[in-house]
Every structure is written in structure tokens, then in C-alpha cells.
Amino acid sequence: MPEFAYSLPPGLDVHLVPAPTRMSPSSGGGTGCVVDEDTRIETTGPGAERAARWLRGAVGAATGLPLPPAGDHGNRVLLRIVPGLEEELGSPEAYRFTADGHDVVIDGASEAGLFWGAQTFRQLLGPEAFRRAPVTGRRQWEVPAVTIQDAPRFRWRGLLLDVARHFMHKDGVLRYLDLMAAHKLNVLHLHLTDDQGWRLEIKRYPRLTEVGAWRARTRFGHRASPLWEEKPHGGFYTQDDIREIVAYAAERHITVVPEVDVPGHSQAAIAAYPELGNSDVIDTTSLTVWDDWGINPNVLAPTDTTLRFYEGVFEEVLELFPSPFVHIGGDECPKDQWRRSPAAQARIKELGLADEDELQAWFVRHFDTWLTARGRRLVGWDEILEGGLADGATVSSWRGYAGGITAARAGHDVVMCPEQQVYLDHRQDGGADEPVPIGYVRTLEDVYRFEPVPPQLTPQEARHVLGTQANVWTEVTEDQGRVDYQAFPRLAAFAEVAWSALPAPAERDFADFERRMGVHYRRLDALGVAYRPPTGPLPWQRRPGVLGRPIEGAPPNV
């Protein structure tokens, strides 16, 4: 991959986010390319038409230009797939962009690379190109005379949306797929089940959504808050909704990774089907979908009944999600019920296990084997390391870097998402106006200086770092506006970390990023994103009097 390098002539100000690998004035020294009513979008080679179709729809809607596939005169935007680019630029998602004279040429190493090049073209047209209908009355749009060579640093550039704690309707998920595509992110981790709600229709187990998708009320604020929203909350995605989400994502070269939590974070499932819980310890028939936050003691029973039930769930999950990865959670599973359960203790003895940690590892390993037999790969939070890691498992390292370091050194693939750095539900400022302040202060600059690959790893070990992911948990993020506020603008900084070959954290030019964000905020405005302004929250973005859980000081680098 080429080294990160800007080379722009004086007076040419380009504001791309994420920053491309290499950018320079076009070799012809031209004045750029005008896009107008005579401009056509042409394609060469199989696979290019899909990117052209997206470009005509998105840019055509914003500009009002027809952008036909052919014409006798005028400028053109030429989209081509050039397989040799993968070897030249080091990634199947690479692209090369040139605007000079009458032509814009976008070459992609693959369909994905071509699509990311089309996203760059849209940014170069200006913020108004991100609207859904023309607002300016202009009939000409100029693209500056630049040549760009670009490729992502990581192949996993992810965003987790927690739709279990507070449900996000289908249209909101589709909207976030568009926002991800605009920032060249390519993995949507959809957290579909938890104690507070089950969000995925499973046809053979209808009570999972009839019962498990609805809670009677919701605590407002952190779990120590005395405030309650005394109305039911819930919702779920039908299987057709999921097919639509997956297809919409695929058109944007985004993989949707489903998460179905086992063996913890499972009270919603147990409320629907009490036989899944440790009924020899507690009355599972009395459980309801949880209305509170925190770590729940009610976990799945390690029985054959539970294994067969979740195999049935995952059979339908695999039919809906073509992702090679399936996330099974595996985190925050309290062992107290297993310690007190005669059935769980009998299973430990039967399997020859040392303790409850090994029982959890057996549970995870069962589904690792089951998924592997069906051509899929298990992903789990770093607690799956406890008691021995399943052979084919990939680790989402969330409690810091340590789990990812351990996993990479053992030869396992890793997605770095340390809570101290890239949990976007954490507060963005230490001021009193920050809504429901959770966790450490993570400013825009803090996220921009996040480094996914720990220096402790050797180059060989570092190759196991598939990439990185920002996580948006929604316990105190109750609607789309709150999700926007927590995610943006920090997700733009994260996207640059995940895509661009940036220097070491201390050497990164945050002032230049802020300069480019000056234009990028206008793109977010055009997209209708309720981001946190640089000057602080607007009055309606605050939540005065709602208790949070701020943690003071700098986060540990663990």
C-alpha cells in the first residue's frame, strides 16, 4: 500500500473524510471536470454497473442531472474495474480517481473499490451532493483536478448498533447503512438480542418476539437513576425486514454481522421460554423482559434443551445473514446460578471440566464447532478467552487491548474495539451539559488518535488484527437523535482511523482533520445527522437531571 501522502498545489483545498492514501494534482494540469446536463456515466467491464446505478441515484437526486449511460457529447464519468489495482495498491477495495478536462475516471480493484471511489466523487462535488433533492438551482458542478490513489488500512471497519436495549426501526438501520457507506465503513455489527429485548423474528420460536421483544417500562438514565419511562418499549425485525437490510447493505458493500447472545444477556429469551433458564435454582416462569440496565444474573442453562433451541435459532440466522461471521456474545455471564444449579454441576462433572469458566468455554466451543461445520466463523467478546478459546473463534476485544493481544499471540483473529477508546456511548466532554454522561471523556481528537494495533504485537501477530470497530450501546441512547449525537462527529474520526494509513497517534495532524471537518459538518447537515456541534450540545440535546455514570481521569491503556 502507498504511504500516506498529501501533495496539493496552493489554492486547491480538498476536504475528504476519510483522508485518501495519496492525493496530488492531475498530471495534465487541467482545470478539473464540469458535471452538467450533458454529463454521462459510463461503465467498462462486468460489475461496474452496480456502482454506476448507485451514483446515478444518489448524485442524480441531489443535482437533478440525468447522468445517462451514453451520449453523443459532453463530459463523462467513467467507472472501470481494473483487477491489477489490487496488486498495485495492496487491497481488493482499492481505487484510483482522476479528474481532468472532460473526464472523471474511477478505477476500482473490485466492485467494492469502485463503490468507495464513487463515494469520493460525491464528496468532491460538495456538501449539496448529499441531499435527496436539488436545492441550489445550479446546473453545473465542478470536480477539482486531482488524482487520488486510495486503499483501506483494515478490512474490518465496523460499527456496532445496539438495537436490543432501545429498538431502532428498520428505516433507521437503512439510514445508518447510508451513513456508514459515506464514511467507507464496511461492517455493521447488529446487536439483536439482550436481557432487555429480542429483536429478530424466529419462525419456529414465535414467543421470542411475541413476548421477548417487549418490556413494560424502561429506566431513564444510568441504572442508579430513580427515573422511569412508564410505558412499554419494544419492536423487532421480521425476516423480510432483515432480508431488506442485508440486501441494502450488500448494495453498499457492507457486511451485516448478527449478534445473538449466549449464554449471558439472555433474560428476554428466558422470559419467552422459561425452560432455557436455570429452573432448578430460580422460578424462571416469573421472569419478564428486563426493564433495567447492568449485568443480569439470569443466564442460560447448560442443557441439551438449550443447545438444541439455539441451534434452531442459528439455523434461521444463517438463512438470513450471508455474513461469514456470526457473533455469539459470550460476555458478562455471571456464574452464580451455575454454581448453585445441580444440573449445571452435573454437566461440569459429566464433561470432566474444572469449573464454571470451563463450562462457559464448552458452551462457546459447541457453537464454534456447529458454525464451522456450516462454513461460518464464530466471533465473541473477549470473555470467550476464559476457560480456553475455541479453535476457530475470532475475538472482539472490548475490555481493552489485553484480550486482543492474548488472542493474536495465540493465532486467533481479532477485532479491536476497546471500550476505553471507541465506545461512542461514552461522553464527548467533561462539561455539565453533556447528556447522560457515561464513562470516560472521549473527545473527537481522542478518537482520532486511537490506534487499533497495540505496539506489543510483532508484525506477524499484528496480521491477526482484522480491523477495528466503534460500538454504540443504547441503554441511555433512547432514539435516533441521541444515537446521532453520540456517534457523530466521532464516527467520522473513527472512519479515518479505520481507513487511512495515518501516522503514529502523536504525529497525526488533527488540525488538518478539523479543517476538513469544517466542510464535512455541512455534509452531515445535508444528510440530516443530529451530531454534537463542536461548541457543545444544543439545548434540546441536553438531558438535565438524568443521572449518568461519568468516570474521571484518562482511560487506562489496558
**Which residues are known catalytic residues?**
194, 265, 332
List Cα–Cα distances, 442 to 92, 117, 185, 358, 439, in angstroms.
32, 30, 20, 35, 9
Which of 67, 167, 42, 46 has its CA nearest to residue 125?
67
Name residue 553's beta-bridge partners.
none
Which of 151, 115, 86, 3 has its CA nearest to residue 499?
151
What are all long-range contacts of 530-537, with beta carbons under 8 Å and residues at least 24 apart?
530/480, 530/481, 530/484, 530/485, 530/488, 531/484, 531/485, 531/487, 531/488, 531/489, 532/428, 532/485, 532/486, 532/488, 532/489, 534/444, 534/489, 536/429, 536/431, 536/433, 537/433, 537/434, 537/435, 537/485
CB 185 within 8 A of CB 157: yes
DSSP-assigned states of every residue in 171-209: HHHHHHHHHHHHTT--EEEEE-EETTEE-B--TT-THHH
Query: Using CA atoms, how far apart are residues 451 and 427, in angstroms rounded to an integer?
Result: 19
Rg of the chain on CA atoms, in Å = 24
Handedness of CA 136, 140, 145, 150 (dihedral sign): positive
Which of 398, 402, 442, 443 has its CA nearest to residue 418?
398
H/E run at residue 159: strand 156-162
Name residue 198's beta-bridge partners.
193
H/E run at residue 496: helix 490-499
Tell how strand 377-381 and strand 394-397 pair up. parallel
Vertex 254, ends 173 and 399: CA angle to 5°? 80
